[in-house]
Amino acid sequence: MKNKLIIILILTLGFILSAYYFSYFLIDNSISLEGFLRFSSNSGFILLSILLLLLAFYIRSLNSYLLIRVIREARVSTLFRALSIGFFCNSILPFRIGEFVRAHILGKELSVSRTVMFFTILIERMVDCIALSIFFVLLIVLSAKAGITLHPSIYMLAVMVFSVGLFILIFLYAFYSQSRWLLKSIYVSTSLFNDRLRDKTRHIMWSATYGTNVIVKHAKLGRYFACSLLMWCVYLASVTVLTEAVFGAGFIKSFITANTSYLSVSVPSGSGFVGTFHYYFTTIVSGFIDTGRAGDGTIELFSVLVWSIFIVPVSIIGCAAFLFYRKKHRGTEDMPYSDPRLNKLYRETDISAELSHFLDEYFSCNKVSGIINRYEIEGSRKLIKIFRGGSNASTLLLSDDAGNRFVKKITLVQYTEKLRNQYLWLLERQGGSHFPRLIGETRDESSYSYDTEYMEGSKPFFEQIHSNPIESGKETLDRVLAFVEEAVYTGDEWVNSETDLHEYIEIKILDKVKHTSGIDAAVENLLPYDTLVINGKEVDNLLVVLDKIRSDEAIMAGLARYRRTPIHGDLTIDNIQVPNGGGFVLLDPNDENFISDPIVDIAKLYQSLHSGYEFLCTLTKCSVERNRILFDENISSKFTELFNHLDGRLARELPPERHRAILFHEAVHYCRMLTYRARINPDTLPAFYAIATRLFNEFYEASKDR
């Protein structure tokens, strides 16, 4: 109520200023209101002109429906009300503020993005400029045929209108084409904001690009343009018939006068813009209309009459619509609530925080996010959620046309082999209850993906651990270990391969560290130091301790001997899903393992429970000063208890040498993820490098003390 009173106060002030400005204009131009009596004989044509103008406004509302209906169904009465209120605000406030008011009202009544509503208005204005430019070309042809010399001002106005239309077209195309410079500019500028404002602003800007594409793809733009031309024929007819009735100037001169009136009213310069309209209209029209009564002010009076017909009737309707405007969303009152994740231009609830990861990837021009965006525009698949991940593939929860939800794992075409191997690995193990059910795979020129069944109501093992008694987590973990030993680790070949070990170290450790240092200055600056101080404890730097490990023949011999068997390859806590009815499902296998040993899988569990990978991923900052790395380590007590359970079991079941080797592979896993972390969040990358370094030191110290 308070906000509405403020708005009413602003509009009242604008109305008073407009009335004062109009009165001053009449006095300054020696225009007497009694002079309008000379048009009393044309009252029927004045009424016809007003009715034609209102008809044109109604056609404009119908035309708006063609654009807005692809976003959300709306009543034409709602669109006309918003149009009239916006026009009323344009009449009493400067700089076309009414266009923003109209977009706000539409967004509020339809519960959709106000930004997209404003973009529909921009499309409307662009088409207006094109239509006026087309009619101006016709005007030139007709004036040349009739031997009428037009005042230069009309050419200036036409060029201005065309330029505005061209500018709007370029502006809209930048959003429609999703140009990289625009997306990058938004990404960089919004990165300066706090998380909430950043996500909110990016959601607004994404809505603009997405909404523009949806309109272009799904709206009937040909029909829209044809209806716009019809609307402008009615607009021009409203002034043409009035001009003919008052002056009897003939169709061509009346048509030129009508064009002049709308070109003149296109120049906004203050409340009501009566002064600029009057100047251009009288300057141009007096050049070819002969009133027969030189100096009697007929042209001036006619200018005010036309301006009044343009402004007053619709403003009265707009004022009444505003005063009786109700907060209830009358445009959608009969519509049920719709999940805004299925149409992300809806605004019943704010989902910008849920889309944070997608928006970050989209505005940083990640190609996979571009593919997801294409799904949204086509409307065949809707993004519900992006699951956390750290590889070149993205895992999405999507909904199809029928509302069925499924999980899609997608990557760019150059990474097809790795993801397809994952698909084939799962395909070989279909039929059991501990792997996701495959739906199919898709390959196109830009991406590869496969789909799996969505387990409604299931939850990540991480959540189960922290929302249930710890005994439940221990039971699930034991069942996972028993299952993979029986159903996955089906090989029992023991090998001694220094070649495999050296290749493993070169590719999974040294190459990853080298690559990471090449793209991140923080890691590059840490490498020259012999030691690091990690959260207050000094240890050998990664390459230093790795040299010590490689120089110890006994340690290397122990690592080179391993049990070769199929493994899951990415048995992290994140990749264990717990269905509603109990049990577990193992997700996202990875067969890229030079050393395919069960303890590589166990090391993935250690990565979670021992060094707290899931908690490290929530870090927002990491302090680096020379060789000192400082960051928060907040592993939960339940993770610690579950780790003690796991480690105690493995200490009893495994030979000491293999039990120690788990730490080595845990460290390798952190090295393998460094390049991904550099892309995801370079600010916290040194923390992951530090964990890998510390684990190598722990392994080396444990091996020395054997």
Alpha helices in 93-113 (DSSP H): 97-110
74, 171: one domain: yes
pLDDT along the chain (706 residues), means of 10: 57 56 52 60 87 94 93 91 89 82 92 94 95 93 88 92 94 93 93 89 94 92 94 94 87 91 74 69 83 61 84 86 63 57 84 85 86 85 77 82 87 87 89 88 90 86 90 93 91 89 93 92 93 95 95 93 91 88 86 84 94 90 92 91 94 93 96 87 92 96 80
Pick from 454, 471, 492: which residue ends a domain? Answer: 454
Inside any domain, residue 517:
yes
Beta bridge pairs of residue 447: 412
Q: What is the pLDDT of residue 270?
A: 44
323, 221: one domain: yes
306, 370: one domain: no
172, 320: one domain: yes
Inside any domain, residue 361:
no
Inside any domain, residue 152:
yes
77, 203: one domain: yes
Pick from 328, 350, 384: which residue ends a domain? Answer: 328
Residues with Cβ within 8 Å of residue 128, at least 6 apart in sequence: 165, 228, 232
Residues 279 and 291: their CA atoms lie apart, in Å, by: 18
Counts of helices then strands in the chain (DSSP H, E): 28, 14
Q: What is the pLDDT of residue 390?
A: 56
Q: Which two tokens stand for residue 476?
A: 């699930």
Residues 186 and 366: their CA atoms lie apart, in Å, by: 14
Pick from 454, 478, 510: which residue ends a domain? Answer: 454
pTM of the shown model: 0.79
388, 293: one domain: no
CATH number at residue 407: 3.30.200.20
Residue 295 phi, psi dihedral angles, 5° rounding:
75, 10
CB 129 within 8 A of CB 168: yes
449, 536: one domain: no
| Terminal C-alpha separation, the chain | 77
Residue 382 phi, psi dihedral angles, 5° rounding:
-115, 135
Sign of the torsion formed by the C-alpha atoms of 268, 273, 275 and 278: positive
Inside any domain, residue 492:
yes
Inside any domain, residue 265:
yes
465, 402: one domain: no
Question: Residue 157 carries which DSSP code?
Answer: H
CB 389 within 8 A of CB 381: no
150, 101: one domain: yes
595, 448: one domain: no
Residues 73 and 44: their CA atoms lie apart, in Å, by: 38
Give the Cβ contact number of residue 680 at 10 Å.
17
User: Which residue, among 299, 286, 296, has the nearest Cα to 149 in the 3D structure?
Assistant: 286
Cα atoms found within 13 Å of the Cα of residue 415, Cβ hemisphere only: 14
447, 319: one domain: no
* Region label for 379, one of left (φ > 0), alpha (ψ between -120 and 50) or beta (otherwise): left
> How many distinct structural domains can be found in the chain?
3
Q: What is the pLDDT of residue 295?
A: 47
Inside any domain, residue 431:
yes
567, 429: one domain: no
Cα atoms found within 13 Å of the Cα of residue 503, Cβ hemisphere only: 9
Inside any domain, residue 35:
no
User: Which residue, among 108, 61, 105, 100, has the nearest Cα to 80 in the 3D structure?
Assistant: 61
CATH number at residue 600: 3.90.1200.10
Inside any domain, residue 240:
yes
* Owning domain of residue 450: 366-454
Residues 569 and 624: their CA atoms lie apart, in Å, by: 32
